[in-house]
Amino acid sequence: MSQPAASSVVQYLSFFIAGEEYAVGILQVREIIEHDSVTRVPGAPAWIRGVTNLRGSVLPVIDLAMKFGLPPSTINRRSCIVVVEVAFQGEKLVMGMLADAVGQVLDLGSGDVEPPPAFGTPVHADYLAGMGKAGRKFILLLDIDRLLNHQELRAASAVTPERAAS
């Protein structure tokens, strides 16, 4: 009896936003940090919650709930920031995504991922890599590289210490 190739299984990190469970490929996740103070940046788009200090570096923090057109995330004791790497102009942009809570690490094979639905989710279908089957439920798999368009990534990357201090 043959075993499925290890490369056919992809790991995802799940997290919650506004009561829904989402997941991103774990290879794009750098770390998860506790929500701490986030400094608003004047002139930044509303979905950029602000910046936080990540070991001396400025980390832009994105509020995905607002990006998806939902009310802003409410900070609670389980709120955290999922630090991810996004491809931008041939480089990796590091940013944080505000999450209500972290879920679990999922191992999904190609048979566990269905195409994204064209309707019924708060997330635009272009942002989805698919629907992951985890037991009896589906989890929305985000395509983090397509979540923000070129202008939005430029806005997130433009958040600098000088702008944060102004």
Say how many domains are in the chain. 1
Lowest model confidence (mean pLDDT) among 16-20, 43-47, 108-112, 114-118: 114-118
Whether residue 51 is contained in a domain is answered as yes
Is the predicted pLDDT of residue 147 greater than 90, yes or no? Answer: no
Mean pLDDT, the chain, whole residue set: 86
Whether residue 4 is contained in a domain is answered as no
Whether residue 25 is contained in a domain is answered as yes
Whether residue 54 is contained in a domain is answered as yes
* Residue 53 vs residues 59, 75, 134, 135: alpha-carbon distances, Å: 6, 17, 34, 37
- Rounded average pLDDT over 137-166: 73
Tokens 């630090």, residue? 83
Instruction: Print the domain residue range for 19.
Output: 10-158
Whether residue 110 is contained in a domain is answered as yes
Whether residue 153 is contained in a domain is answered as yes
Q: Is residue 11 within 8 Å of 105, Cβ to Cβ?
A: yes
pLDDT interval class at 120 (50, 70, 90) = low
Who wins on pLDDT, 117 or 64? 64
Whether residue 3 is contained in a domain is answered as no
Whether residue 2 is contained in a domain is answered as no
pTM of the model: 0.84
Q: Is residue 12 within 8 Å of 105, Cβ to Cβ?
A: yes
The enclosing domain of 60 has a CATH number of 2.40.50.180
Helices (H) and strands (E) in the chain, counts: 4, 11
> How many residues comprise the chain?
166
pLDDT interval class at 3 (50, 70, 90) = low
Query: What are the strands of the beta sheet with 80-88, ordered from one edge?
Result: 29-34, 80-88, 91-99, 57-62, 48-54
What was the pLDDT predicted at 55? Answer: 93
